Structure 1
Amino acid sequence: MQTTEKLHPKALGLDKKSSLEILTILYEGQIEAAKCVSKSIAFLDAGAKAMAETVLMGNKLVYAAAGSSGLQGMADGLELTPTFGIPISQIKILRAGGIQDMSQPKGNMEDNKSAAISDAKVIKNGDCVICLAASGNTTYPSVIMKKAKEVGATTIGIANNPDTKLLTESDIPILLPTPPEVVAGSTRLGAGTAQKIALNMMSTYMGIFLGNVMDGQMVNLVANNIKLMKRSEKIVMNITGCNRSIAKEALKKAEGSVKLAILLTSGAKSVKTAKDILASEGQNLRSAISRVKLE
């Protein structure tokens, strides 16, 4: 029996316990699940670098999963554009049953092999495909992984059970060995938490590796609302030491690009010059700032 299907040692009589006892057990289950991620840091490093290389080459990041794992993948993928400025055209999210009308349960679709084969047609050589399933054997992501490998894509498999298809058949296997769920088989709990943490770590390190994070700030964010516009101004202020009015003016000249606004404020003579320096430094802002100050 897979670990995610086993009974939790504290589950017996759970429904008879006090509210404080139940919530404490649930909380402890989340903490134990989170701790499991540390065992896979080396593989998360490899995954993040594979993702970064894919983005640099202009290829796609593809998330493929079913059920709650599909929700984890979708949550990660949808944040890459606003957080790190990765073009939406380079991100694809494949979830069994699709992402339309998600209020309707579509559990039966995880076994639909023909749907997986059809959805996998978007995958091309050079893409990086991240397949998730707590069980590690779910048909939908397993079939997509197989198709991805056939076309020459890099595959990352994330599962919560060892010796399963997503791990044995992937280029980069990431095992998150979470303990039994407090509610047996309800992998939206511990397994889902561990998956979300792993995806957070991997995609954030990818953003750092790409030079889209400096001093813990999102220097390549897409500011499409008032909150993010103010954040952009604050980032320019924090990194350059300028005041808000200068930051606003620089962002206006840079058409909202935080990196270009920082370079202009740091001494770049024009937007074109800032773009050229940034390009020559592989989009790494810290290196580009050093170049500007030398010129």
Structure 2
Amino acid sequence: MKTTDNSVLSDNGTEGRNPRSFEIDRMSPLGVLELINDEDAGVAAVVRTALPVLSEAVDEAEKRFRRGGNVHYFGAGTSGRFGVLDSAEIPPTFGIPGHRFTAHLAGGEDAMIHAVEAAEDDEQEGQAAAAALGPDDIAIGITASGSTPYVGAALRTARSSGAMTLLLSSNEDTSFRAFSDFVAVLDTGNEVLSGSTRMKAATAQKMALTAFSTTLMVRLGRTYSNLMVDVVPFNAKLRRRSLAILRHAADLDESTAAEIMKKADGELKLAIVMGIAKTDAPTARTALQQAGGVAYRAIGSLLTEKSA
């Protein structure tokens, strides 16, 4: 039965009822799966509409990150958990210290596994989570509704300290615009299950976060071409992967690649510059420093010097 309380269930937004799923409880398993899949198919197009805003946010975040600022995610429930996921994966993928990406989840670590529903309303917790941010930091609020008190308090506090603020929300009309430098609207519309933002809204958030953080790392020189060159080889698998990346990037045989990697003390990006530019470790390291850590620029400068 339809509710007449439009403050809870409206025709639009993540809380509204999706007419395509009115009879979901009468469908076959395949029918339900196909319906969900059909709805998911449109998420990428929604995220694409937010890319211009995310691009501007990356440009600003790069400046602050290079000055020593860190990225902080703030969210509750599913939104917050995707922040935790992304922040956990960035350090091992791109070889940066863990504190450079930090996720703040309403309700703390317990909320990662168990629902702590009241935590999203705790403005004091949100304020406290962002209290230590400074002017070079980047605060990203993640909330499908655009009205989660924890997230709003965190963004407001971060903004007051001069930090950059980016909001990811499914709600175009969010009041959090007032203290967000950038607002990426991910309007995925009514969910298959009304209000279940763990579905399309969360998928859009995950895509936007991954795109933002990956693009930021690429801009910071954490890749060479499409290769991950700052991977820290903590185990045998990663050591084999690093050697394979070096061989592909510099077109080397295995023994030569192993020799260069040894001279580079296991630093893959340094080894790539050494291998392609045919130079020693100190020269390659200086070139990388002068290029802001961007491998192709360092290689280009060294090859230009050699040809001059």
Tell me the TM-score normalized by structure 1.
Answer: 0.95
Aligned mates of 1:176, 1:101 — CA distance in 2: 24
Aligned mates of 1:103, 1:209 — CA distance in 2: 33
- Tell me which residue corresponds to 1:70: 80
In the alignment, residue 263 of structure 2 is paired with which amino acid? Answer: K
Does the CA contact (< 8 Å) of 1:117 and 1:144 recur in 2?
Answer: yes
Aligned mates of 2:37, 2:298 — CA distance in 1: 45
In the alignment, residue 222 of structure 1 is paired with which amino acid? Answer: V
- Tell me which residue corresponds to 1:210: 220
- State the Cα deviation string for residues 253-290 of structure 1 (Å, max 9, x = none): 22221111112223454322221110011111001112
Aligned mates of 2:60, 2:235 — CA distance in 1: 31
- Tell me which residue corresponds to 1:265: 275
1:250 aligns with one of 260, 280, 289: 260
Does the CA contact (< 8 Å) of 1:161 and 1:176 recur in 2?
Answer: yes
- State the Cα deviation string for residues 90-140 of structure 1 (Å, max 9, x = none): 222111011257322212111111211221123112101011100011011
2:115 aligns with one of 88, 102, 105: 105
Identity percentage of aligned residues: 32
- Tell me which residue corresponds to 2:4: none
Tell me the TM-score normalized by structure 2.
Answer: 0.91
Q: Does 1:281 align with 2:273?
A: no
Q: Does 1:88 align with 2:98?
A: yes
Aligned mates of 2:56, 2:109 — CA distance in 1: 28
Aligned mates of 2:258, 2:61 — CA distance in 1: 33
Aligned mates of 2:46, 2:260 — CA distance in 1: 44
| SS of match in other structure, 2:131 | helix
Call closer, same or farther: CA 1:269–1:217 in 2, change over 3 Å: closer
Post-superposition shift, 1:216? 1.0
Q: Does 1:120 align with 2:127?
A: no
Q: 5 Å matches for 1:19-30?
A: 19-30=29-40
Q: Does 1:41 align with 2:30?
A: no
Aligned mates of 1:177, 1:98 — CA distance in 2: 28
In the alignment, residue 123 of structure 1 is paired with which amino acid? Answer: L
Kindly indicate whether structure 1 or structure 2 has the higher relative contact order, using CA contacts under 8 Å at least 6 residues apart. 1
- Tell me which residue corresponds to 2:7: none
In the alignment, residue 290 of structure 2 is paired with which amino acid? Answer: S
Gaps of 5+ in 2: 1-9
Does the CA contact (< 8 Å) of 2:159 and 2:179 recur in 1?
Answer: no
| SS of match in other structure, 1:102 | helix
- Tell me which residue corresponds to 1:58: 68
- Tell me which residue corresponds to 2:3: none
In the alignment, residue 28 of structure 2 is paired with which amino acid? Answer: S
Call closer, same or farther: CA 1:99–1:244 in 2, change over 3 Å: farther
Out of 276-285 and 88-97, give the one that drifted further: 88-97
Post-superposition shift, 1:214? 2.2
In the alignment, residue 161 of structure 1 is paired with which amino acid? Answer: N
Call closer, same or farther: CA 1:248–1:189 in 2, change over 3 Å: same
| SS of match in other structure, 1:81 | helix
Q: Does 1:233 align with 2:261?
A: no
In the alignment, residue 143 of structure 1 is paired with which amino acid? Answer: A
Q: 5 Å matches for 1:168-207?
A: 168-207=178-217
Post-superposition shift, 1:9? 1.6
In the alignment, residue 39 of structure 1 is paired with which amino acid? Answer: T
Out of 84-93 and 121-130, give the one that drifted further: 84-93
Out of 33-42 and 92-101, give the one that drifted further: 92-101
Aligned mates of 1:101, 1:21 — CA distance in 2: 33
Does the CA contact (< 8 Å) of 1:158 and 1:166 recur in 2?
Answer: no
Aligned mates of 2:97, 2:287 — CA distance in 1: 21
Q: 5 Å matches for 1:124-143?
A: 124-143=134-153
- State the Cα deviation string for residues 36-86 of structure 1 (Å, max 9, x = none): 111111001012222222221111111111110011111111222122222
Larger Cα-atom Rg: 2
Aligned mates of 2:230, 2:119 — CA distance in 1: 37
Aligned mates of 2:249, 2:289 — CA distance in 1: 20
1:150 aligns with one of 133, 144, 160: 160
- State the Cα deviation string for residues 119-165 of structure 1 (Å, max 9, x = none): 11231121010111000110111000000011100000110111103
Aligned mates of 1:283, 1:155 — CA distance in 2: 26
